[in-house]
Amino acid sequence: MTKLEFLGIYNCPLLHFGDTSRILDILPRDRPKGHEKQITLDFYPMYHRGPPNSFGEYCTGSYAVTWDNSGIPTDLAIRVMLRRIMRQAKKQGLDIVAEGTAFRKWLENSPCQEVAKTIEVFRDPESTPEMIAAYLDYRKFQGKIHRLKQTVDKPGYSTW
Protein backbone atom coordinates (compact mmCIF):
# COMPACT_ATOMS: atom_id res chain seq x y z
CA MET A 1 0.00 0.00 0.00
CA THR A 2 2.99 2.32 -0.14
CA LYS A 3 1.85 3.87 -3.43
CA LEU A 4 -1.86 3.92 -2.66
CA GLU A 5 -3.23 7.46 -2.62
CA PHE A 6 -7.02 7.00 -2.75
CA LEU A 7 -9.16 4.25 -1.27
CA GLY A 8 -12.86 4.13 -2.08
CA ILE A 9 -15.11 1.55 -0.43
CA TYR A 10 -18.80 1.79 -1.22
CA ASN A 11 -21.64 -0.27 0.29
CA CYS A 12 -19.52 -3.41 0.72
CA PRO A 13 -21.66 -6.08 2.43
CA LEU A 14 -18.68 -7.06 4.59
CA LEU A 15 -17.91 -3.58 5.96
CA HIS A 16 -20.41 -1.75 8.14
CA PHE A 17 -20.30 1.51 10.11
CA GLY A 18 -18.61 -0.23 13.04
CA ASP A 19 -15.61 -1.05 10.84
CA THR A 20 -14.74 2.59 10.19
CA SER A 21 -12.15 2.80 13.00
CA ARG A 22 -10.50 -0.42 11.83
CA ILE A 23 -10.21 0.93 8.30
CA LEU A 24 -8.67 4.13 9.65
CA ASP A 25 -6.22 1.99 11.67
CA ILE A 26 -5.09 0.19 8.52
CA LEU A 27 -4.46 3.29 6.37
CA PRO A 28 -1.19 4.52 7.90
CA ARG A 29 0.40 1.05 7.88
CA ASP A 30 3.11 0.28 5.36
CA ARG A 31 3.78 3.98 4.76
CA PRO A 32 7.47 4.88 4.70
CA LYS A 33 8.65 7.02 7.62
CA GLY A 34 8.36 10.69 6.74
CA HIS A 35 5.96 9.92 3.89
CA GLU A 36 3.94 13.11 3.66
CA LYS A 37 1.18 11.86 1.37
CA GLN A 38 -1.71 10.44 3.37
CA ILE A 39 -4.18 8.04 1.81
CA THR A 40 -7.51 9.69 1.02
CA LEU A 41 -10.43 7.58 2.20
CA ASP A 42 -13.93 7.69 0.75
CA PHE A 43 -16.04 5.17 2.65
CA TYR A 44 -19.75 4.44 2.43
CA PRO A 45 -20.48 1.68 4.96
CA MET A 46 -22.98 -1.05 4.19
CA TYR A 47 -26.41 0.55 4.24
CA HIS A 48 -29.14 -1.80 5.44
CA ARG A 49 -32.56 -0.85 4.12
CA GLY A 50 -34.29 -3.18 6.56
CA PRO A 51 -37.26 -5.47 6.07
CA PRO A 52 -40.10 -4.19 3.88
CA ASN A 53 -42.46 -3.67 6.83
CA SER A 54 -39.95 -1.96 9.12
CA PHE A 55 -41.56 1.47 8.93
CA GLY A 56 -44.54 1.81 11.18
CA GLU A 57 -45.78 3.04 14.50
CA TYR A 58 -43.23 1.04 16.52
CA CYS A 59 -40.21 1.50 14.27
CA THR A 60 -37.21 2.95 16.10
CA GLY A 61 -35.30 3.65 12.91
CA SER A 62 -32.54 1.10 13.21
CA TYR A 63 -32.28 0.78 9.46
CA ALA A 64 -28.95 1.75 7.89
CA VAL A 65 -26.98 0.07 10.68
CA THR A 66 -28.82 -3.24 10.98
CA TRP A 67 -31.18 -5.11 8.73
CA ASP A 68 -33.93 -5.55 11.28
CA ASN A 69 -35.65 -3.23 13.69
CA SER A 70 -33.57 -4.04 16.76
CA GLY A 71 -35.47 -1.65 19.03
CA ILE A 72 -32.33 0.10 20.21
CA PRO A 73 -31.58 3.80 19.59
CA THR A 74 -29.03 3.32 16.82
CA ASP A 75 -28.82 7.07 16.25
CA LEU A 76 -27.24 7.42 19.70
CA ALA A 77 -24.75 4.64 18.96
CA ILE A 78 -23.86 6.22 15.61
CA ARG A 79 -23.19 9.60 17.25
CA VAL A 80 -21.02 8.12 20.00
CA MET A 81 -18.95 6.24 17.44
CA LEU A 82 -18.90 9.24 15.09
CA ARG A 83 -17.22 11.40 17.71
CA ARG A 84 -14.47 8.80 18.15
CA ILE A 85 -14.10 8.32 14.37
CA MET A 86 -13.82 12.07 13.78
CA ARG A 87 -11.05 12.40 16.39
CA GLN A 88 -9.18 9.44 14.93
CA ALA A 89 -9.47 10.74 11.36
CA LYS A 90 -8.35 14.23 12.42
CA LYS A 91 -5.17 12.78 13.97
CA GLN A 92 -4.48 11.18 10.59
CA GLY A 93 -5.15 14.39 8.67
CA LEU A 94 -8.39 13.11 7.12
CA ASP A 95 -11.71 14.91 6.93
CA ILE A 96 -13.96 11.88 6.62
CA VAL A 97 -17.13 13.91 7.28
CA ALA A 98 -16.55 16.75 4.80
CA GLU A 99 -19.48 17.68 2.60
CA GLY A 100 -19.51 15.58 -0.54
CA THR A 101 -17.80 12.55 1.00
CA ALA A 102 -19.46 9.15 0.89
CA PHE A 103 -19.22 8.82 4.68
CA ARG A 104 -21.09 12.11 5.16
CA LYS A 105 -23.75 10.92 2.69
CA TRP A 106 -24.16 7.70 4.70
CA LEU A 107 -24.61 9.74 7.90
CA GLU A 108 -27.22 11.94 6.23
CA ASN A 109 -29.11 8.83 5.07
CA SER A 110 -28.91 7.25 8.53
CA PRO A 111 -31.49 7.72 11.31
CA CYS A 112 -29.42 10.62 12.71
CA GLN A 113 -30.98 14.07 12.62
CA GLU A 114 -29.10 17.36 12.28
CA VAL A 115 -25.93 15.71 11.00
CA ALA A 116 -24.30 18.98 9.86
CA LYS A 117 -24.88 20.69 13.22
CA THR A 118 -23.68 17.61 15.12
CA ILE A 119 -20.46 17.56 13.11
CA GLU A 120 -20.02 21.28 13.76
CA VAL A 121 -20.44 20.80 17.52
CA PHE A 122 -18.07 17.81 17.59
CA ARG A 123 -15.42 19.78 15.65
CA ASP A 124 -15.63 23.00 17.64
CA PRO A 125 -12.94 23.14 20.34
CA GLU A 126 -15.16 25.62 22.21
CA SER A 127 -18.00 23.07 22.55
CA THR A 128 -18.72 22.35 26.19
CA PRO A 129 -19.30 18.82 27.48
CA GLU A 130 -22.98 19.76 27.90
CA MET A 131 -23.26 20.81 24.23
CA ILE A 132 -21.65 17.57 23.13
CA ALA A 133 -23.95 15.51 25.37
CA ALA A 134 -27.02 17.36 24.06
CA TYR A 135 -26.03 16.39 20.51
CA LEU A 136 -24.93 12.86 21.34
CA ASP A 137 -28.45 12.00 22.49
CA TYR A 138 -30.21 14.23 19.99
CA ARG A 139 -33.43 12.24 20.06
CA LYS A 140 -33.85 13.07 23.75
CA PHE A 141 -32.40 16.61 23.99
CA GLN A 142 -32.62 18.02 20.41
CA GLY A 143 -29.24 19.70 20.97
CA LYS A 144 -30.66 21.91 23.71
CA ILE A 145 -28.57 22.21 26.85
CA HIS A 146 -31.51 23.32 29.00
CA ARG A 147 -33.30 20.02 28.24
CA LEU A 148 -30.20 18.12 29.30
CA LYS A 149 -29.95 20.11 32.54
CA GLN A 150 -33.66 19.57 33.29
CA THR A 151 -33.13 15.82 33.05
CA VAL A 152 -29.94 15.76 35.10
CA ASP A 153 -31.39 18.03 37.81
CA LYS A 154 -34.39 15.76 38.44
CA PRO A 155 -34.43 14.15 41.90
CA GLY A 156 -33.31 10.54 41.79
CA TYR A 157 -31.59 10.92 38.41
CA SER A 158 -28.61 8.68 38.00
CA THR A 159 -26.16 8.34 35.13
CA TRP A 160 -25.63 4.69 36.04
pLDDT in tens, 77-104: 889 999 999 999 998 889 999 999 999 9
| DSSP H/E element including 10 | strand 6-10
Range in 6-10, 22-26, 41-45, 48-52 the model is least confident about: 48-52
Q: Which of 35-39, 69-73, 127-131 shows the highest mean pLDDT?
A: 127-131
Classify residue 57: in a domain, yes or no: yes
CA dihedral 113, 117, 122, 123 (to 10 degrees): 150
Could you tell me what percent of the chain has a pLDDT over 90? 34
Residue 121 pLDDT > 50: yes
- Predicted confidence at residue 35, as pLDDT, reads 61
Classify residue 20: in a domain, yes or no: yes
Classify residue 146: in a domain, yes or no: no
- Predicted confidence at residue 24, as pLDDT, reads 92
CA distance linking residue 106 with residue 12, whole number of Å: 13
Classify residue 153: in a domain, yes or no: no
What's the total number of domains in the chain?
Answer: 1
| Residue-number span of the structural domain to which 40 is assigned | 6-112
Classify residue 91: in a domain, yes or no: yes
Classify residue 99: in a domain, yes or no: yes
Range in 74-78, 137-141, 151-155 the model is least confident about: 151-155
Compare 83 and 65 and report the one with higher pLDDT.
Answer: 83
Classify residue 43: in a domain, yes or no: yes
Q: Which residues pair with 43 in a beta bridge?
A: 9
Classify residue 140: in a domain, yes or no: no
